[in-house]
Amino acid sequence: MELKKLLEQQSAEAWEKYIPSLSIDCVIFSFYENALHVLTVNMKDQNLWGLPGGYVQKDENVDDAAMRILKDRTGTENIYLQQFYTFGNLKRSESAFEAYDDSIWNKQRFVSIGYYALAEHSQVKLRIDQYSNAVEWKLIETLPEFMMDHRAIFDKALLTLREQLNNHPIGYNLLPEKFTMPELQKLYEAILGKKLNRGNFYRKILRYDILIKLDESRKGGAHKAPDLYSFDLTKYNEALKEGLKGNW
Amino acid sequence: MELKKLLEQQSAEAWEKYIPSLSIDCVIFSFYENALHVLTVNMKDQNLWGLPGGYVQKDENVDDAAMRILKDRTGTENIYLQQFYTFGNLKRSESAFEAYDDSIWNKQRFVSIGYYALAEHSQVKLRIDQYSNAVEWKLIETLPEFMMDHRAIFDKALLTLREQLNNHPIGYNLLPEKFTMPELQKLYEAILGKKLNRGNFYRKILRYDILIKLDESRKGGAHKAPDLYSFDLTKYNEALKEGLKGNW
């Protein structure tokens, strides 16, 4: 069905079911093929790219709403999910529904709570719902133009990842259980948005004593197989409490 | 006027004027007498302590609403203000209005956006409004019992200060223009919630090269007058971009 018709049909129910003026947008990150990706949705009829989102039911905690939306989009429940900022400027979203009647649910002013999620690529099953043409992972360096203020929401999410890299288990949640040092470095580089010196990075990360060097190496490839590591979760969590850069 | 009567009288106007279900709570910090304080409000009739807050007008950006509420409470406009978290659990606030009719504005479910503010004590003029018995600065170590979920909101604000201490100009905004090293150390201790070694602290903070040692010292007192410092704002802002603990 055409998107406009669909939303007009659902409007009365939405007014009944959801907290008015409040929405949720999810910035879902995944790290694979040595690069950081984000989940994007293409909106039916309008051909606009944006972040997956939804609304909060009147009888639902806001955090639970975010988990529900995430599950609808990715088919997964045990993803690291963190609220990071609420976007409340006037006219941030209404323009996408210009052709709609003013009384339609979707055309109201919405204040949107941003959540970021860290997802393991292999566990995510993308679902194209009735509002979307497509759901795609995109490289964070080459994102398409986004609808509404979704670019600002994405930028703030990435900035938050960067600021929280020393206090939250971001590496643990974005990497597979076993990873190589070059993979870990690439992840840090993607989040920090800059190249890091290999020697400095290895020295620093090993000094924290949060990694376990495994008795196995990555198979395949022409070169010497690189060593595999995993996080020592007890030590990692302990170190994050103080901040990875050390104590005052 | 009795609080209940007042809110019942204002309810119809509130429904007209504000975005439903959305409130703002402000955690206003100030550092004076070598200790960190927070602004608390005692609610009329109910004799409950809490954080100052308010609602968002339908034609107002959320950030502007926070500034307006802050101005109403403290008479100041140029305070460092930062959104930090949105609190959206079911039943977080309704209980304070149990005796009210269900249709009253204040008894609805509210999702509350938390802002923290850093205020210089000398510039703040406290105002007791029609909803309050008292407005008081309180030491963060000896807070009274708070209404609703305001204790959780305060705790999250303090945790955020702690996490942002290396990336945001928190010291600059909480200290007077000229301060002593013991004052700076006390501020860091209050935010981090622990004693710091004097020698280590001095060495670290001086190594960042963000302070200017002034040609004057603190007058008064029996002991040797301590040196005064101020922030080198250019270097300070530059250092905060990378994070005060140094670069990867």
Same structural domain, B137 and B190: no
In a domain, A230, yes or no: yes
In this prediction, residues B4-18 reach a mean pLDDT of 94
Query: Average of pLDDT values for B210-217?
Result: 91
Residues of B in contact with A61 (CB under 8 A): 88-90
The mean pLDDT value for B97-101 works out to 88
Together in a domain, A214 and A154: no
Residue where a domain terminates, one of B105, B139, B164: B164
Contact B109, B94 (CB under 8 A): yes
- Which CATH number fits the domain that encloses residue A48? 3.90.79.10
Q: Which of A17, A64, A81, A111 is the best residue to mutate to test the B interface, defined by the most B CB atoms within 10 Å of its own CB?
A: A111
Residues B109 and B54 in one domain: yes
CB contact under 8 A, A243 and B245: yes
A182 lies in the same domain as A113: no
Nearest CA in chain B to A92: B61
Q: Give the three-class secondary structure for B161.
A: helix
As given in the structure block, the two tokens for residue B141 are 């170590």
ipTM of model: 0.90
Does A61 lie in the same domain as A9?
yes
Under the banding of pLDDT at 50, 70 and 90, the label for residue B86 is very high
B39-81 pLDDT, tens digit each: 999 998 888 999 999 999 999 999 999 999 999 988 888 889 9
Q: What is the pLDDT of residue B37?
A: 97
Same domain, A154 and A187: no
**Closest Cβ opposite residue A90 in set B59, B109, B167:** B59
Residue A172: inside a domain: no
Domain membership flag for residue A208: yes
Mark which of A102, A130, A164 sits at the end of a domain. A164
Looking at residue B248, what is its pLDDT? 60
Q: Is residue A182's pLDDT more than 70? A: yes
Same domain, B206 and B150: no
Cα–Cα distance, A12 to A186 (Å, whole number): 48
Residue A62 distance to chain B (closest CA, Å) = 5
Average pLDDT value for chain B:
91
How far is residue A145's CA from residue A48's CA, in Å, rounded to a whole number?
Answer: 8
Name residue A229's beta-bridge partners: A179, A213
pLDDT at A163: 84
Assign A108 a pLDDT band (cuts: 50, 70, 90): very high
Q: Look at B90 and A200 and tell me if their CB atoms are within 8 Å.
A: no
Taking the alpha carbons of B158, B162, B164, B168 in that order, is the dihedral positive or negative?
A: positive
Does residue B248 lie within any of the structural domains? Answer: no
For residue A220, the distance in angstroms to the closest alpha carbon of chain B comes to 31
Would the CB atoms of B248 and A58 count as touching at under 8 Å?
A: no
Same domain, B216 and B148: no
Rounded mean pLDDT, A222-235? 87
Residue length of chain B: 248
B216 and B116 housed in the same domain: no
Same domain, B152 and B196: no
How far B245 CA lies from chain A's nearest CA (Å)?
6
A189-198, A206-215, B219-228: which range is least confident on average?
B219-228
**What's the CA gap between A188 and A201, in Å, rounded?**
9
pLDDT value of residue A221: 64
Domain identity same for A43 and A111: yes
Check if the beta carbon of residue A175 is closer than 8 Å to that of residue A20: no
> From the list A19, A188, A246, which residue is nearest B245 (CB)?
A246
Model confidence at B220: pLDDT above 80: no
pLDDT of A69-84, one tens digit each? 999 988 888 889 999 9
Looking at the DSSP assignment, which residues form a beta bridge with residue B55?
Answer: B23
- Rounded CA gap, A113 and B115, in Å? 14
CA distance A114 to chain B (A): 10
Is A200 in Cβ contact with B248 (below 8 Å)? yes
Structural domain total, chain B: 2
Are B89 and B210 within one domain? no
What pLDDT score was predicted for residue B108?
94
pLDDT reported for residue B240: 87
Of A164, A187, A215, which residue sits at a domain end? A164
Among chain B, residues having any CB pair with chain A shorter than 8 Å are 19-22, 56, 58-63, 65, 83, 85-86, 88-90, 109, 111, 113, 163-164, 166-167, 188, 192, 196, 200-201, 204, 243, 245-246, 248
Contacts across the A-B interface (CB distance below 8 Å): 86
To test the contact with chain A by mutation, choose from B56, B93, B111, B166 the residue with the greatest count of A C-beta atoms within 10 A, namely B111
> For residue B232, how many other CB atoms are within 10 A of its CB?
15
A83, A111, A163: residue with CB nearest B19: A111
Give the mean pLDDT of B17-33. Answer: 97
Place of tokens 């529900």: A68
Residue A157, pLDDT above cutoff 90: yes
Answer yes or no: is pLDDT of B246 > 70: no
A151, part of any domain? yes
- What's the CATH code of the domain at B219? 1.10.10.10
- The pLDDT of B208-224, averaged and rounded, is 82
Task: Tell me if B247 is assigned to some domain.
Answer: no
In a domain, residue B12? The reply is yes
Residue A141 lies in a domain: yes
Tell me the nearest-neighbour CA distance from A203 into chain B, angstroms.
10
Instruction: Give the pLDDT of residue A73.
Output: 85
pLDDT of residue A9: 92
Q: Answer yes or no: is pLDDT of A248 > 70.
A: no
Percent of chain A exceeding pLDDT 90 equals 72
For range A216-242, the mean pLDDT: 84
Give the model's pLDDT for residue B2: 87
Query: Which structural domain range is residue A54 located in?
Result: 3-164
Tokens of A101: 């009647």
User: A-chain residues within 8 Å CB-CB of B248?
Assistant: 188, 192, 196, 200-201, 204
Would you call B204 exposed, middle or buried from its count of C-beta atoms within 10 A (0-12, 13-18, 19+)? middle
Written as six digits, the tokens of A1 are 């069905």
